[in-house]
Amino acid sequence: MSIALKIPTALRGFTDGLNQVELEGDTVGELLKKLIEKYPDLTTHLYDEEGLLRSFVNVFVDGTNVKSLEGQQTPVKEGQSIMLVPAIAGGNFG
Amino acid sequence: MSGHERSLSQSLGQGQGLGLGLGQGLAERDLPELTGEEISRYSRHLLLSEVGLIGQRKLKAARVLVVGTGGLGAPLALYLAAAGVGKIGLVDFDFVEASNLQRQIIHSTRDIDRPKVASAQDRLKGLNPDIEIVTHNVKLSSKNAENIFSKYDLVADGTDNYPTRYLINDLCVFQKKANVYASIFQFEGQATVFGAPGGPCYRCLYPSPPPPGLVPSCGEGGVMGVLPGILGCVQAAEVIKLIVGGAEPLVKRLLIFDAWRMIFNELKIEKDPNCPVCGQNPTITEPIDYEEFCGLGEKIQDPAGPIFASELQERLDRGERIQVIDIREPHERTLYAFPGAKVVPFGQLVRRMDEFNPEADLVFICKIGQRSLFAIRALHRAGYPGRMLNLQDGLAAWAKLIGGPQLPY
């Protein structure tokens, strides 16, 4: 069962420019693990040294932040809208 | 400060009636009257029962601070002035450049090299001479922001960097002011209202910023000019709605907009009870050092120091063992190429560092010498053992040195 994960503009440089990546997994954590297996350049941008999702990246499942659900354990299924939403700034320090 | 201003400020300060009408606590008699000219000017607002005479008088009483007069601030300030917001403060310390005009439509070609706040003030005054425009030609900082913010009822964040964003966020929480936020990158934007009663603040959503250099700035990554136009207008709509009241503000909802695909997404966002600024037990209760918080406190050091364009040219001419690494994206190289450079986009550097020769001096190049510095830092952290040099001021400096066509982007 493959699930589409939406990649924001700011991270597309690490996913060959793709705005959506099809992945297999039952939870948000599994999807993200598959994502970095496929695009290892993303690893340091999504996870910190302790393996935690970085605090400037949020994941939304059907419009709800997984922080308000079960975090990385949040179950996902085909047809849901899953978005990575990082902080963006636009300017000179971004 | 006149009586009605004070009462509006107090009412807004207590967050009264947000979504019902920020000025709702005011007795009608406290609001300034409209002149005959103003009634003509704002007739299309007056015809709306949702705005009407009272709403327009609330707009006249309102004092809004617009931080940044760039891509977002330009349409935002224009629409607020057109709508008759009585006092608009503009904060910016920058000067108008030719490359701003693709999106910062408050400035004109003849304004190039003028302070942005002066250029914006002229334009707004031309649009609406009845309102007060206050310019703050300063870089917003922990030292000056509290005083500036205290003179306004609400704040619209049109900045382009993280230190200022966190500063605006925290001060709006401290001073109980709504923070009408938008942010853009390339084709994509976000907008919401932070700091509303019961709603989240920016830190609830993003407790800390990305490390510097992760994402290229608009100066390097580009931005579709109309994108901040759309998002700045969303901000203007929210500011006007908050002042007039009775509308459904963009609170607890994050609007995500992809201009290239023309898709609007709405995401639910919530207050974090553990937020260090607006949570139940806040640990940050006054402005902090935001440069340091955003990882910009230490001056970015190039482990091996910079190399100037002239020096690079000399060393290449002498045939020294130098490997030039172009870390830009493919579409940038089609605009201006560096012959003989090894091409490794920023995103692939660490993974491909085995391809570099540690015996040779590596010279990293990008457009202006900023991303290349972050590239060196990333490789340094990843343990790359060889000597790495940063081309000072990037290909912009190189193109100037060697003559011929200048860097076209």
What ipTM describes this predicted complex? 0.93
H-only helix segments in B150-266: 162-174, 202-205, 218-221, 226-244
With an 8 Å Cβ cutoff, are B296 and A93 in contact? yes
Whether residue A73 lies inside any domain: the answer is: yes
**Residue B245 DSSP label:** -
Q: Which of A55, A88, A84 is nearest to B192 (CA)?
A: A88
3-state SS, residue B351 = coil
- Interchain CB distance below 8 Å, A41 and B351: yes
Residue B27: the pLDDT is 59
Neighbours of B97 (CB within 10 A): 13
Q: Which of residues 176 through 215 in chain B touch A, CB cutoff 8 A?
A: 183-190, 205-210, 212, 214-215
Pairing of strands B154-157, B179-185: parallel
B3-293 to CATH, choices 3.40.50.720, 3.40.190.10, 2.60.40.2470, 3.40.50.300: 3.40.50.720
Of B160, B268, B348, the CB nearest to A91: B160
Write out the catalytic residue numbers of B. 218, 366
CATH number of the domain to which A8 belongs:
3.10.20.30
Structural domain boundaries in chain B: 3-293, 306-402
Taking the C-alpha atoms of residue A38 and residue A41, their distance in angstroms, rounded to an integer, is 9
pTM, two decimal places: 0.81
Please report whether residue A62 resides in a domain: yes
Residues of chain B with pLDDT under 70: 1-29, 213-220, 297-304
B195 torsion bin: left (phi>0), alpha (psi -120 to 50), beta (else):
left
Rounded to whole angstroms, how far apart are CA atoms A37 and A34?
5
Question: What letter represents residue B150's amino acid?
Answer: S
A20 touches B: beta carbon within 8 Å: no
Q: Is the pLDDT of residue A42 over 90?
A: no
Using an 8 Å CB-CB cutoff, list chain A residues near B161. 89, 91-94
Give the integer Cα–Cα distance in Å for B315 and B308: 11
Q: Residue A86: list chain B partners with CB under 8 A.
A: 210, 215
CA distances from B85 to A25, A94, B56 (A): 51, 31, 8
| B370-381 exposure pattern, b = at least 16 Cβ within 10 A, e = fewer | bbbbbbbbbbee
User: Which has more confidence, B77 or A47?
Assistant: B77
Report the DSSP beta bridge partners of residue A59: A84
- Exposed / middle / buried, residue B103 (Cβ in 10 Å: 0-12, 13-18, 19+): buried
Closest CB to B270: pick one of A55, A68, A87.
Answer: A68
Q: How far apart are CA B373 and CA B140, in angstroms?
A: 26
The two tokens of residue A20 are: 């959506």
B160: closest chain A residue by CA: A91
Selecting from B71, B183, B265 the residue whose C-beta is nearest the C-beta of A89 gives: B183
Looking at residue B20, its pLDDT comes to 33
Q: Is some CB atom of chain B closer than 8 A to the CB atom of A92?
A: yes
Q: Does domain B306-402 have CATH number 3.40.50.620?
A: no
Reported as a pLDDT band with limits 50, 70 and 90, residue A91 is low
Q: Which of helix, strand or coil describes residue B393?
A: coil
The pLDDT score that the predictor gives to residue B392 is 92
Task: State how beta strands B263-268 and B253-258 pair.
Answer: antiparallel
Q: Mark yes or no for CB contact A60/B267 under 8 Å.
A: yes
Residues 108-147 of B with CB under 8 A from A: none
The pLDDT, as a whole number, for residue B214 is 63
CB contact (8 A) between residue B183 and residue A90: yes
Does A52 contact chain B (CB < 8 Å)?
no
List all residues 6 or more positions away from B408 whose beta carbon is below 8 Å from its beta carbon.
Answer: B335, B336
Tokens standing for residue B360: 């040779």
Parallel, antiparallel or unpaired: strands B179-185 and A2-6: unpaired
Question: What pLDDT score was predicted for residue B18?
Answer: 35
Residue A31 vs residues A28, A35, A76: alpha-carbon distances, Å: 5, 6, 9
Which residue among A13, A67, A87 places its CB closest to the CB of B329? Answer: A13
Please give, rounded to a whole number of angstroms, the shortest distance from the CA of A25 to a CA of chain B: 22
Q: List B258's β-bridge partners, or say none.
A: B188, B263
Residues whose CB is less than 8 angstroms from the CB of residue B26 and which lie 6 or more positions away in sequence, other chains included: B4, B7, B8, B11, B58, B61
What are the strands, taking DSSP E only, across B21-169? 63-67, 87-91, 132-136, 154-157
On whether any CB of chain A is under 8 Å from the CB of B263, the answer is: no
Chain A contacts in chain B segment 49-88 (CB below 8 A): 71
The answer as to whether A92 is a domain residue is no
pLDDT at B299 (0 to 100): 55
- Tell me what pLDDT residue B365 has: 94
Cα of B174 vs its chain's centroid, Å: 21
Instruction: Decide if B223 contacts B185 (C-beta within 8 A).
Output: yes
Q: Which domain holds residue A17?
A: 2-86
> DSSP per residue over A11-66, as a string?
GGGGTTT-SEEEEE-SBHHHHHHHHHHH-GGGHHHHB-TTSPBPTTEEEEETTEEG
Furthest-apart CA atoms within chain A: distance in Å: 41
Query: Is the CB of residue A55 less than 8 Å away from at least one CB of chain B?
Result: yes
B76 in Cβ contact with B237 (< 8 Å): no
The first and second tokens of residue B347, run together, are 């995103």
